[in-house]
Amino acid sequence: MKNVYKYLFCILAFLACEDDNNLLEDIAFRGGFVQFQEKPELNINILELDTAIISEQLIDPNNNASSYSLDLLHDGNVVKDFVTLNSFPSKLEIPISSMISALGLTNDDIVLSTKFSLVATITTPTGIFSGLSPKFDNNNINQGGNSTVRLKANNFRDAIEFDVTFFLPPAKTIRKTSFEAVAIGPTNTPYTRNGDKDETGDLVNGSAPPFVDFIANGTSDKDEIGFNSEYIAVPNISSSSLGFDKERIGVYSLFEDYDAYPDGVKGYHLEDIDGMIRITFDVVNVPIGQEKSGISFQAYFNDTSWEAKDGMFAYVNITTDSGSDVIEMIKVFDDEVEAISGSWKEFNTGFLTGIRSYQLVIEASGGATPESIDIDNIVVYEPKNETIN
């Protein structure tokens, strides 16, 4: 009896192996199957939307597809028969700009999380088949397609259902500052301001650190961006006192609320302002001919209770070929600050088009002793290794 069981087991194992070996024949041949000849490049540089093209060779391994069409899907919108091919092998060429246009979008609508899906309909002598995987409802009725997830393994390079995604290339620094070129003093030394405690006006450096102003040594990518600070009186920001005469304000190397700075070992620190301090950074020009650029900075809000007038407003003065404008980077006050406090946060415009210069302005407000803000790693950047037109 044991020998009989062994014999049956061997037959079943053999049939199972035969089934695996004929996966394409049993599934793909009957439903039609089109694949990429090589692994396709479907992750697109988001900076090249106007010029990027999907260009891949398609093959019909079973020689039974009489037509092949692709529907384009995005965010609930469907463009039927966006691409149609009637013979194989065949070159699939799709400009990304044509996908964007067909969906009624513009380049500005495309972000890093954007995904375009393409689903094939294949006609063979035995019928018409959808590249979607089956999706059965509660009544066991298929509301999906005719394909199978087994055909969508990477090694099959299927062209029956696939996605187009986007990536952002690495950035190259045009100018930056992490305040590393600014001299510092002891961590407990306060900045003594000029003028009266609550007097609106320009702040000036004393004879020794901490410093609130910095003159850049040059304009190369190795030279840190200069900056200037001023105090702005804010009525009723504090119930105890307004303004300051001596506080820890300016460039320091502090490791009290965090273990490290985003870049280097220094940053611009503000605490117990009882008003507002505006830091205006130097204008940074974008290289001539460079159409893509951006700006970013990082800030740390300490973990405490923040009131209605306490927080930050940061914006960028920009120039373009047609004039000037202002871009808001961050505006957080009160509970919004508490929601992001306790860790370094990056604020980033992403790559913008046609900007000729940037000037970052950060306005920090506080009206209570425990509140502090640290600023670091201001970077104006362009795409890395991109040819300037």
* 279: enclosing H helix or E strand: strand 275-281
Count of residues for the chain? 389
- Residue ranges, comma separated, of all CATH 2.60.120.260 domains in the chain are 171-383
Rounded Cα distance, 329 and 349, in Å: 7
Residue type for 309, please? K
Residue partners of 103: CB distance under 8 A and separation at least 6? 72, 74, 77, 79, 116
pLDDT digits (tens, 9 = 90+) for 362-372: 999 998 668 99
Q: Which two tokens stand for residue 282?
A: 């130097």
Rounded Cα distance, 105 and 107, in Å: 7
SS (H, E, C) 328-377: EEEEEECHHHHHHCCCEEEEECCCEECEEEEEEEEEEEECCCCCEEEEEE
pLDDT of res. 129: 83
Closest CA to 198 of 276, 141, 146: 276
Q: Is the bond leading into 186 cis (omega within 30 degrees of zero)?
A: no
- Residue ranges, comma separated, of all CATH 2.60.40.1930 domains in the chain are 2-167
Strand partners, 313: 331, 363
Rounded Cα distance, 107 and 97, in Å: 8
The Cα diameter of the chain in Å comes to 104
**Alpha-carbon torsion, ordered 337, 340, 345, 347, to 10 deg:** -60
pTM here?
0.71
Q: Residues 274, 366: contact at Cβ < 8 Å?
A: yes
**Domain spanning 2-167 has what CATH number?**
2.60.40.1930
Parallel, antiparallel, or unpaired for β 161-167 and 43-45? Answer: parallel
Residue type for 60, please? D
Rounded Cα distance, 294 and 109, in Å: 17
Count CB neighbours of 180 within 10 A.
Answer: 17
pLDDT of res. 23: 40
Q: In terms of C-beta distances under 8 Å and separation of at least 24 residues, what long-range contacts does 90-93 make, across chains too?
A: 90/57, 90/58, 91/55, 91/56, 91/57, 91/58, 92/54, 92/55, 92/56, 92/57, 92/58, 92/159, 93/53, 93/54, 93/55
The CATH number of domain 171-383, selected from 3.20.20.70, 3.30.950.10, 2.60.120.260, 3.90.1300.10: 2.60.120.260
Rounded Cα distance, 45 and 255, in Å: 38
Strand partners, 161: 119
Closest CA to 47 of 137, 170, 221, 224: 170
Closest CA to 349 of 340, 341, 358: 358
Q: Which two tokens stand for residue 327?
A: 């871009």
Closest CA to 258 of 187, 186, 342: 342
* 275: enclosing H helix or E strand: strand 275-281
| Residue 35: strand, helix, or coil | strand
Rounded Cα distance, 356 and 323, in Å: 10
Rounded Cα distance, 66 and 32, in Å: 9
Strand partners, 326: 317
Residue type for 85, please? L
pLDDT of res. 30: 54
Tens-digit pLDDT profile for the chain (389 aa)?
444 444 434 433 433 444 443 444 444 445 578 999 999 999 999 989 999 999 999 999 989 999 999 999 999 999 999 999 999 999 999 999 999 999 999 998 998 899 999 999 999 988 888 876 666 667 766 555 555 555 555 566 889 889 999 998 889 999 999 999 999 999 999 999 999 999 999 999 999 999 999 999 999 999 999 999 999 999 989 877 899 999 999 999 999 999 999 999 999 999 999 999 999 999 999 999 999 999 999 999 999 989 999 999 999 999 999 999 999 999 999 999 999 999 999 999 989 999 999 999 999 999 866 899 999 999 999 998 654 44
